[in-house]
Structure 1
């Protein structure tokens, strides 16, 4: 039971870029496309007397996929947040399973900037901070490229300046 004077863990201060909505929507449509291609393959390979099962599965995939492509990016945008201080990185992420992580920069091993092809088209980037943690790296997806570049520079400088190595 927390002490009455204990501070409440607040949300990180910054949201990701609004363009992350487009990135996540494109990724969701890609998943839907793969499912529909699998449906077409099943349709071609299978030769049942009736195609009712095929139509039902295609309809379920189409409705569920459309709901996913519309709802998931909105939900992720509401949840995903980040914050960096000279001493730590704090993230909140997830869709169905949400996670908050705080990593002291004295445990940082690498700070990376990543950009996939779609992210490049949208002017977005992801920042990954690898730490000496069993929980794995901290990732901040969907940042505007200039924000990501500044964040990488600031985190790298802060990690180098930390003398108290906790690894």
Structure 2
């Protein structure tokens, strides 16, 4: 529907917690360190593999450090979320933007997850599961207290919202 009566979504208002940048960087560093160290040890132990293994370890390290410096700040800039009495909204991406909207009447479960790295950064992930074939709506990188409050609020709102969540 186009024209004056078309309804337009405004961008969600909330950003993630700034600590999410450090959390994502730690993930990148771990993801980079495991293959880089493995290749370096392999190159140190096996003479025939030394040249290519150490070169590949260096390349993995350079690419991993570049990704560690760039992507977390980028993701922080493009991730937005909001919860209203009607729906949960999440927008991600820059070139390929994805909007995920979960109407309260469709929410089936609300989960709060805190992995070891998230716990170290005092962060949490809230996962809102619906009957959508696309899967759950995920709010990763939230302050752990805010995530707990949000899960409680979503549970209360969905309980009070008519609908069968199917």
* TM-score, scaled to structure 1: 0.88
User: Match of 2:62?
Assistant: 63
Superposed, 1:1-167 pairs within 5 Å as 3-5=2-4, 6-43=6-43, 46-48=46-48, 51-94=50-93, 98-167=97-166
- Taking the aligned partners of 2:115 and 2:94, their CA distance within structure 1 comes to 21
* 1:83–1:90 contact (8 Å) kept in structure 2: yes
Closer, same or farther: CA 33–98 of 1 in aligned 2, 3 Å = farther
Please give the secondary structure, in 2, of the residue aligned with 1:27: helix
Contact kept? 2:24, 2:72, Cα under 8 Å: yes
Unaligned runs of 5+ in 2: none
CA distance in 1, matches of 2:53, 2:106: 52
Which runs of 5 or more residues in structure 1 are unaligned? none
Q: How many residues align?
A: 165
Q: Which runs of 4+ in 1 moved over 6 A?
A: none
The one-character-per-residue Cα deviations of 1:21-62 (angstroms, maximum 9, x if unpaired) are 1110111100011121331354256532x8432333122111
Conserved 8 A contact 1:72-1:95:
no
- Listed one character per residue, the Cα deviations across residues 84-125 of structure 1 (whole Å, up to 9, x for unaligned) are 011110012358864220011111111011111121122111
Q: Let me know the Cα RMSD of the aligned residues.
A: 2.1
